[in-house]
Amino acid sequence: MHAGTWRGHTLITDRQPIITARFGHDDAHTLARYEATGGYQGLRAALARRPEDVAGEVKGASLLGRGGAGFPAGVKWGFCPPGVWPRYVVVNGDESEPGTYKDRMLMERDPHQLIEGVLIACYAVGAAQAFLYVRGEMALAQERIAAALNEAQAAGYVGRSILGTGFSVDVVLHWGAGAYIVGEETALIESLEGERGMPRLKPPYFPAAIGLYQQPTIVNNVETLANLPWIMVNGGEAFAALGAESSKGMRMFSVSGHVKRPGVFEVEFGVTTFRDLIYAPVYCGGIRHGNGLKAFIPGGASAPWFYEEHLDLPLEAGAVGQAGSMLGSGAVVVMDDTTDMVRAAHRVVRFFARESCGKCTPCREGTSWLEKILQRIIDGQGRPRDVDMLLDVCDNISPGIAWPPRQTTICPLGPSAVSPIASAVMRFRDEFERYVGAPVTTTVAVKGAAFTARAPEGAGV
């Protein structure tokens, strides 16, 4: 990794990466390389302690879930009702959020690290079986994990009597068949039970209490679990010493769109800012062709958009949340000043309309209405009142158009489609006016802080 200074503060790229440490090796997916670089030492360290102490160590690390919702993993484990057996562990490797491709990297390039993390979780919570659910479209990840599981079983790391102890668990590789909604944990469980991937109502179906086959089930994201071997070797305290108050440790960010060098970077929470990520030479090196920045999505397609004035925010859940958006899945999508924001909003909304499972009316109807109205505007058939109608539909999907969003649906997919609309309409109204050929007025109130952010004087947006 590179060290250096940028805009007066030290970049943390000289910080030893945690979960991408082996990415430099072409054979990082093999057991031989994994063992030669400290592999399965975290499992040994875990098995040398009582399961509840392992869970305590992870809780002490304050490891936030890396899937998008950002719930502390150790706390989630604690929600399993005592005395109810068997329990299951399910790995969420159904990464499909537009702009996100960190879990795919972890599964393809370091599958043993993930398997080791799964085993540590199974030992700590007392899971009798684990299921590793990989997105259907990721054939190479499936191959690498299948090969790694076969190697790990032959070496005695997975299966009966692991490392000669009384700890026994199978990790079953399973893959999906193309459905974004299955990344929602209760939909994933439905899918794993052989059903259509439609979310369950919470409560009562919190997976830790009533999950797979109605039993207590821990569903954790790939990146979350990949951190566990390091935490077991180095301690939860060492992990919690990294990062910021509201977000401990390191995090993978996938940066795409109009930057010079898009990529996936593991950076320390809180120390690094969006400006570092987008402009620093060691990361993306700035906007393509020397263009200006128009907007960026800070944390996946569901996140309210950010602008120039948000660039110096640290990559930290608390600060980003206060500004009215989220780090979500760690996907940063950058749009330069040539971007047509009406078309960009349409493209994000189309995703949610296509991926709605159809269970809840506000989402099923609302997202497709939003897509159709935007398409009409883009096709030159839009009317001035269509823009207010977009907000009105948003207000019905997520009343108040606030942040965090209110929900009229079982899962957050529907409310996710509100962000791109509210962002585009509130900030780039002139672009809608150009499409509809007349001034636009809106009557629906919008509350989210990022939606109502005003461009600073002279920002030139």
Partner 1 sequence: MGRLSAENVVVAREIIGRYPVGRSALIPLCHLAQEQHGWLTPAAMAHIAELVGVTPAEVLGTASFYEMFKLHPVGRYVINVCTSIACHLTGGDELLEHAEATLGIRAGGTTADQMFSLEGYECIAACTEAPCLQVNYRYFTRLSNAGFDALIDDLRAGRRAEEVPPHGTLSRVRQRLDPERRAGAASPKGGEAPVWIAAGRPALEPGP
Interaction residues for partner 1, span 397-456 (CB under 8 A) = none
Interaction residues for partner 1, span 346-385 (CB under 8 A) = 347-348, 351, 354-355, 357
Q: Is 341 in the site for partner 1 (CB under 8 A)?
A: no
Residue 48 beta carbon to partner 1: minimum distance, rounded to whole angstroms:
5
Between 246 and 419, CB nearer to partner 1:
419
Residue 144 beta carbon to partner 1: minimum distance, rounded to whole angstroms:
8
Q: Is 194 in the site for partner 1 (CB under 8 A)?
A: yes
Q: Is 79 in the site for partner 1 (CB under 8 A)?
A: no
Output the six-digit token pair for 330. Answer: 């760690």
Q: Is 176 in the site for partner 1 (CB under 8 A)?
A: yes
Output the six-digit token pair for 188. Answer: 């994933």
Supply φ then ψ for residue 306, to 5 degrees: -115, 165
Q: Is 333 in the site for partner 1 (CB under 8 A)?
A: yes
Stretch that binds partner 1, among 149-157, 200-208, 406-414, 432-440 (CB under 8 A): 149-157
> What residues form DSSP beta bridges with 221?
92
Interaction residues for partner 1, span 116-145 (CB under 8 A) = 123, 126-129, 135-140, 142-143
CB contact at 8 A, 199 and 157: no
Residue 200 beta carbon to partner 1: minimum distance, rounded to whole angstroms:
15
Q: Is 183 in the site for partner 1 (CB under 8 A)?
A: no
Work out which of 13, 20, 92, 191 binds partner 1, going by CB under 8 A.
191
Work out which of 246, 256, 416, 419 binds partner 1, going by CB under 8 A.
256
Burial 24-57 (b: 16+ CB within 10 A, else e): eeeebbbbebbeeeebbebbebbbeeebeebbbb
Residue 383 beta carbon to partner 1: minimum distance, rounded to whole angstroms:
25
Residue 167 beta carbon to partner 1: minimum distance, rounded to whole angstroms:
4
Cα 143 from chain centroid?
A: 23
CB contact at 8 A, 92 and 135: no
SS3 state at 107: helix
Q: Is 177 in the site for partner 1 (CB under 8 A)?
A: yes
Residues whose CB falls within 8 Å of the CB of residue 85, separated by 6 or more in sequence, listed in order: 126, 128, 215
Q: Is 56 in the site for partner 1 (CB under 8 A)?
A: no
SS3 state at 333: strand
Nearest to 297 by CA among 257, 259, 352, 260: 257
Stretch that binds partner 1, among 71-79, 222-230, 253-261, 304-312 (CB under 8 A): 253-261
Planar angle of CA 350, 292, 348, nearest 5 degrees? 5
Stretch that binds partner 1, among 18-26, 195-203, 410-418, 443-451 (CB under 8 A): 195-203
Work out which of 10, 150, 361, 381 binds partner 1, going by CB under 8 A.
150
How far apart, in whole angstroms, are the C-alpha atoms of residue 234 and residue 439?
A: 60
Residue 412, judged by CB atoms within 10 A of its CB (0-12, 13-18, 19+), counts as middle
CB contact at 8 A, 216 and 81: yes
Interaction residues for partner 1, span 261-280 (CB under 8 A) = 262-264
